[in-house]
Amino acid sequence: MERIFCIENLTVVYDRKGVSGDKAVEDISLFLNKGEIFGFLGPNGAGKTTTIKALLGIITPTKGSVSIFNRKVSPQTMHVVGYMPEVANYYWFLTPREILDFYGNIFDIDKNILDKRVDELLNMVELDRASDKLLKTFSKGMLQKVSFAQALINDPEVLILDEPTTGLDPISKMNMRDTLLKLKERGKTIFFSSHELSEVEIICDRVANIKNGKILKETRPKNILDEKGNQISLEKHFFELVRDK
Amino acid sequence: MKTVFLLARHSFKELVRKKDFYVLLFLLIGLIIFFYNKTFFGTADASRYLKDIGYSLVMICSIILCVTFTAKQIPSELESKTIYPLLAKPVSRDQLVWGKFLGGLFMSAASFTIFFIVYLIFINLKGEGVKGILMFQAYIFSLCLFTLLSAVTVFFSMFLTLSANITLTLLLFFYFSWYNESLRSLLLDETLKMRLFYNLLFYALPHFEFFDMKTRLAHSWDPIPLWIFVSVIAYTLIYSTLLVISSSALFRRKNL
């Protein structure tokens, strides 16, 4: 199976004014195979976003390495990556169409292809009727939809989503879940962090639990249910795991 | 290079959609009309006063826009966290810094050009106008000033807060524009060692006074000799490039 990305012994320590601080993540190792949906679970401040930032090359690991398609993470490797951040703040003076156009141009996508893709994405996230309104007039949920659309603008091989369903209404959540499953069918690889454990349970092939910067357990949701004889939900298992450690 | 220009164009769009520029443009037109109708010292046709005051107003409005707009570029990306989706694309930190610098420069150049056209219309309506070559030199020197100011502001934004950056850049600008000569005379009483140190410091700081064409414009003096004109442009390009390269180096090491 083709390995899409690989995190080996990742440790990140944030320096504060030259003084070495606490370890945000410590000795994390993870890998992701092509076509997988991987759920990254953990309480607030566990190190999920730090891991994602290291994966995107936004922060440099203190120790360990991160690679995508066997190449060290760099701006060039980002051509195959789509990222949806935890906080969906975008340039308020732009419209969704303009923001998708701006990001699409960064990927150097041909104008005709880009125009078509922007229309498709706006249609997919049901923002086609608001496509020419300024983002400053958008609700949190609408911004989240823009955020999801921009992550797909380059038709990425690997999609990294940080709390993607935050602020979405139940129907939009269901639509996003369906879209993720369709992307998986097309061979895309998806890594996402979430608090929505029911979401993770339904769509993830594998999950990892992280707390205080360390991976507690990595498993398949199906295995948890088998282990416990279908008597426990992933949510309950997660609570037990986090509380015990 | 394409990415840098995309980022710069993006910043430029911000100017068009924000009210700051339009407010300053209307304020400038209002003030110029006010001075246009005024008779200075009882002389009805004293166009040089309009040239002097008008040019100062154009420069002040442009400088305020340049410094406040450029100073916000990187901090606002960090504060709103829009920097994360941007850096998760094929954009390096160096490209981001250069893009923001050029964005500030394009924005300042565009707003200054519009302000300058308004100024030229009014000084040509009242009195003698300005020689073409002098007007051209004043325009190019102003662009040089905004290049240097944008570079200084981007550099300070690497380690200063937004308000501290704006204050320090404007202080540096006004200090060098107004007290440049008196600063040198203060050195005369110092010891040789200290004089050497202060001289080095003096020349290392950005010399905004090089670009001041106000008096020359107001009194319609001769144009600046070509070698000085070219030297000032070269000074701007070298100084600004060094500042932006240093900013990139600092930004590469920044914890985001």
- Interface membership of A81 toward B (CB under 8 Å): yes
**Residue A85 maps to a domain:** yes
Q: List the domain range (segments joined by +) for residue B107.
A: 2-252
DSSP state letters, A83-141? EE-SS----TTS-HHHHHHHHHHHTT--HHHHHHHHHHHHHHTT-GGGTTS-GGG--HH
Which chain A residues contact residue B255 at CB under 8 A?
A: 14-15, 59
**Residue A53 maps to a domain:** yes
- Quickly state the pLDDT bin for B140 (edges 50, 70, 90): very high
- Cβ pair B14:A15 closer than 8 A: no
- Cβ pair A56:B84 closer than 8 A: yes
- Interface membership of A174 toward B (CB under 8 Å): no
Out of A15, A76, A83, name the one closest to residue B85 (CB): A83
pLDDT at B68 (0 to 100): 93
- Interface membership of A147 toward B (CB under 8 Å): yes
Residue of B nearest to A134 (CA): B17
No. of helices (H) and no. of strands (E), chain A: 8, 10
Chain A nearest-CA distance from B190, in A, is: 36
Ranges of residues in chain A with a pLDDT under 50 are: none
Q: Which residue has the higher pLDDT, B147 or A5?
A: B147
Asked whether the CA dihedral B22, B24, B29, B30 is positive or negative, the reply is: positive
Out of B13, B14, B90, name the one closest to residue A78 (CB): B90
**Residue A234 maps to a domain:** yes
pLDDT at A114 (0 to 100): 94
Dihedral Cα B16, B21, B23, B28, nearest 10 deg: -140
Gyration radius of chain A over CA positions: 18
- Read off the CATH number of the domain in which A59 is found: 3.40.50.300
Q: Which residue has the higher pLDDT, A229 or B127?
A: B127
- CA dist B185 and A151 (Å) reads 60
B-facing residues of A in 194-223 (CB < 8 A) are none
Please, what is the average pLDDT of chain B? 88
Chain B nearest-CA distance from A144, in A, is: 13
Q: Find where tokens 């040019």 sit.
A: B55
- CA dist A130 and A98 (Å) reads 12
- Quickly state the pLDDT bin for B54 (edges 50, 70, 90): confident
- Quickly state the pLDDT bin for B60 (edges 50, 70, 90): very high
pLDDT at A233 (0 to 100): 65
Residue of A nearest to B5 (CA): A106
Q: List the domain range (segments joined by +) for residue A34.
A: 3-89+156-244
- CA dist B227 and B152 (Å) reads 25
Residue of A nearest to B8 (CA): A102
DSSP B225: P
ipTM above 0.85, yes or no: yes
Residue of B nearest to A87 (CA): B81
Chain A nearest-CA distance from B239, in A, is: 28
Domain tally, chain B: 1
**Start-to-end Cα distance in chain A:** 33
- Cβ pair B89:A91 closer than 8 A: no
- Interface membership of A5 toward B (CB under 8 Å): no
Chain B nearest-CA distance from A170, in A, is: 25
Question: What predicted TM-score, i.e. pTM, was given to this entire model?
Answer: 0.87
- Quickly state the pLDDT bin for B106 (edges 50, 70, 90): very high
Out of A94, A106, A150, name the one closest to residue B6 (CB): A106
Please state which of the ranges A70-84, B49-63, B79-93, B123-137 shows the lowest mean pLDDT. B123-137
Mean local confidence (pLDDT), B136-144: 94
pLDDT at A242 (0 to 100): 64
φ and ψ at residue B43, rounded to 5 degrees = -95, 115
**Residue A55 maps to a domain:** yes
Domain tally, chain A: 1
- Quickly state the pLDDT bin for B11 (edges 50, 70, 90): confident
pLDDT at A237 (0 to 100): 66
pLDDT at B225 (0 to 100): 93
